Amino acid sequence: MKRLIITSIVLLAGISAEAMAVDCVNNQLKNSLVTTAVSGKTVCATNGGDKWQEFHQGGGALIDYKKGPNDLVDKTKTVGSWNTSGSDTNTTVDYTYGAQTYSYKVFLNSGQYTFCGINGAPTLDVTLLAGQVSCGF
């Protein structure tokens, strides 16, 4: 009986993990929809223990919110740039930090945005907030 219960728990955990898996196949945003989704918004992202919040200013400036524009030590500052490129299923949002560029295809499933990394960039579930604001983490 214990073996049956343990097997059931393992199977349910596997099903739950698959149900929660990131969807990088369905509902990709294409063309101008990617720009509309991120422009003028703060993207709140986590990857493992890393967390960041970057405002996507119209015109392409990428601004790290840090602790806000009025903080005396860790002020908001421009850290790079963003743009969109490609078309249809090759539409990406591209981030440039100095000499390093990361590209993502953007998907929207059940109200959750997923940035699916290409060329080695990690895949991220993100939250988009209107304006230049704190993500609260």
pLDDT in tens, 11-47: 333 333 344 456 899 999 999 999 999 999 999 999 8
Instruction: Give residue-wise pLDDT tens across range 85-116.
Output: 999 999 999 999 999 999 999 999 999 999 99
Q: How confident is the model at residue 119 (pLDDT cuts 50, 70, 90)?
A: confident
Reduced to 3 states (helix: H, G, I; strand: E, B; else coil), residue 66 is: coil
Is position 10 within any domain?
no
Domains in the chain: how many in total? 1
Is position 99 within any domain?
yes
Is position 116 within any domain?
yes
Where are the alpha helices (H) located in the chain, listed in sequence order? Answer: 2-19, 32-38
Cβ-contact 106, 118 below 8 angstroms: no
Q: What is the rounded distance in angstroms from the CA atom of residue 124 to the CA atom of residue 17?
A: 16
Reduced to 3 states (helix: H, G, I; strand: E, B; else coil), residue 101 is: strand
Is position 45 within any domain?
yes
pLDDT of residue 4: 39
pTM score: 0.79
pLDDT of residue 6: 40
Is position 17 within any domain?
no
